[in-house]
A = this chain, B = another copy of it.
Amino acid sequence: MVSIVDVARLADVSIKTVSRVVNGEKSVRDVTRERVRRAIDELNYQPHRGARLMRGRNSGLIGMITGAITASGHSPNESGLSAIHIVRGAQQVCRAAGKTLMIADTMDAQNEVGSLLRTFEGHSVEGVIYAADYHRQVVFPLSRSTPVVLANCFDSAGTPAVVPDDYLGQRLATELLLEQGHRQLAMIGLHDEVLAAHLRRSGYLDACRAWGLPYESFRYHAGSVEQHESDAFAPLSEALRSVLDSDELPTAIMFGNDLMAMRARPQLAAAGIDVPEQMSIVGFDNDIGICENLQPSLTTVTLPYLEIGCHAAEKLLQMSQPEQGVAIERVPCRIVARDSAFPIPRPPDNVNSRDLTTMTAT
């Protein structure tokens, strides 16, 4: 182990001067600094973390707690994957800031969080990010000494948090369809127990109202995929049937996620409805495996997981400064336009939807 003394000896300066160079303090002459630098390089010297830490130095460690790694084993599509992108974002920012990210997994045991937090504190982390696998409210054990930022979730204690703007995402998707000329819409959202379902529902309804659509022209159904274990798609196909049986057939349907959209395709095909010519469909999540392999490729909304991770890390790194902003930060979703959302050819004079109704009556 090469220590600061060796460097000092080689550069013929005191250990303190080496310390100054290493820490980038300014009162060192250029010529001296250069000499020390050379010695450091030659010996391949690396400051000893332990010793540094003992002098109350920052550890350079950021802790990250997530269920992502475990979760990605079970769920078919995004559930686990989402948090992976959050980790990725946090990782990027931390690395740019010269911090090392320490990742630990809850292994799906929520009560593990406290013990992980203590482990992290034992390693003198400078802060902790907790990333949830889907947008929700959590109860995070308070830590007196360690700053915490929540990612993809929030709590009632006012812990700083970064969450996706589900409302905006659905609103943008709806407005895209409206701009394309669609005037008869339907949405089959996620299970009602999911927070995101409510937010997106509001985004959808608000957009429709803002565009002055008559009440009967935009419908909403809940059709879960995630929650029930067996017969997961029953609510979806039931909702879809209800939509297709209605008098005024919509020209576009938005789904709670890409998987639902994919599952709905055969049912639409069976009803003799062409996508996207007769019916535009829009998913949610931007699950590449689904979106790009579906025919036509699926227009969808992407949750900004990467950005959430970045912002969470940035928030954490800035938390030493007192100028705290808002506790909860919303990161906008983006539309990913592919081929499944299709502009209505003719102006919406209702002939269009009448046609469709006739065609699918067979």
Contact = CB atoms under 8 A, between A and B. Distances in A.
Interface of A: 46-54, 60-61, 68-70, 72-73, 76-77, 80-81, 84-85, 87-88, 91-92, 95, 100-105, 107, 118-124, 259, 262-263, 266, 287-290, 292-293, 295, 306
B72 A91 contact: no
**Interface residues of chain A: helix, strand, loop or mixed (majority):** helix
B77 A123 contact: no
A287 B287 CA distance: 13
The 7 closest A-B pairs by CB, nearest first: A50-B53, A50-B54, A103-B103, A69-B88, A76-B288, A76-B289, A50-B50
Nearest to A88: B69
A46 B289 contact: no
A72 B85 contact: yes
Contact of A69 (B84, B120, B123, B287): B84
A228 to B, nearest CB: 15
Nearest to A291: B76
Given A72-B84, A104-B91, A104-B101, A50 B51 contact: yes
Contacts of A80: 84
A122 B47 CA distance: 7
A232 B72 CA distance: 27
A72 B88 contact: yes
Nearest to A81: B72
B118 A105 contact: no
